[in-house]
Amino acid sequence: MGLLDRILNKSKEAKIVTLGVSGAGKTTLIRYMETGEAVMEAPQMTLGIDIREKGIEVGNWQLQAIDVGGQDLYKNTLWALGVTQSDGVIYIFDGTVRPENNERFQESQFSFEYMLSIVNPKTPLLILVNKQDLEDENPISTAEAMEIYELAKLAGRSFNIIEGSAKFGDGIEIGLEWMINKIGER
């Protein structure tokens, strides 16, 4: 391979941060992205912030993932730190949480609103409506998420919403391709 080929095919780098309430699937998503294999064992809860050393390859991009715990203790400090260090944000909704799950839904809604307040509107935001593999729990669709989380207010932001499964990787590739395209445009 000649010098020009090495320059043209050089891997690009970006940092992404995963945010969402505790148990939404942030660490599971990162494990899937790192291995490309289904994550059958539930990972331990992330306490604090975990800056992953292993790069995630997507096309000619190397993504470094920043996994931030979803507990209230970390939201005010570590979420903002993770966001300022990232080129893109993946926000994960637990698709099994519905407005009828009043307390859990309110926590999810509050966390999403807080995330919007700290993320630059120009930063690519991928919203994953996770846990679509749990069909018995009737997970919400993207259309339902748009309505119950009032996502129409995101007009003018760089965002995309997908249904998927962090555990099995369903929908993840399409979402990551969208994100790296948006990061590349910046």
98-141 pLDDT, tens digit each: 999 789 999 999 999 999 999 999 999 999 999 999 999 999 99
The CATH superfamily of 15-185 is P-loop containing nucleotide triphosphate hydrolases (3.40.50.300)
Average pLDDT, the chain: 87
Q: Which of 7, 41, 44 is nearest to 27 (CA)?
A: 44
Q: What span, in angstroms and rounded, lies between the C-alpha atoms of 35 and 37?
A: 5
The domain segmentation of the chain, as residue ranges, is 15-185
pLDDT digits (tens, 9 = 90+) for 67-83: 777 666 667 777 787 88
Tell me the mean pLDDT in the region 168-186: 94
Q: Are strands 61-68 and 49-51 parallel, antiparallel or unpaired?
A: antiparallel
Specify the 3-state DSSP secondary structure of 95: coil
- Tracing tokens 């991009």 back to the chain, one arrives at 61
29, 40, 81, 140, 186 from 76: Cα distances, Å:
23, 31, 9, 28, 27
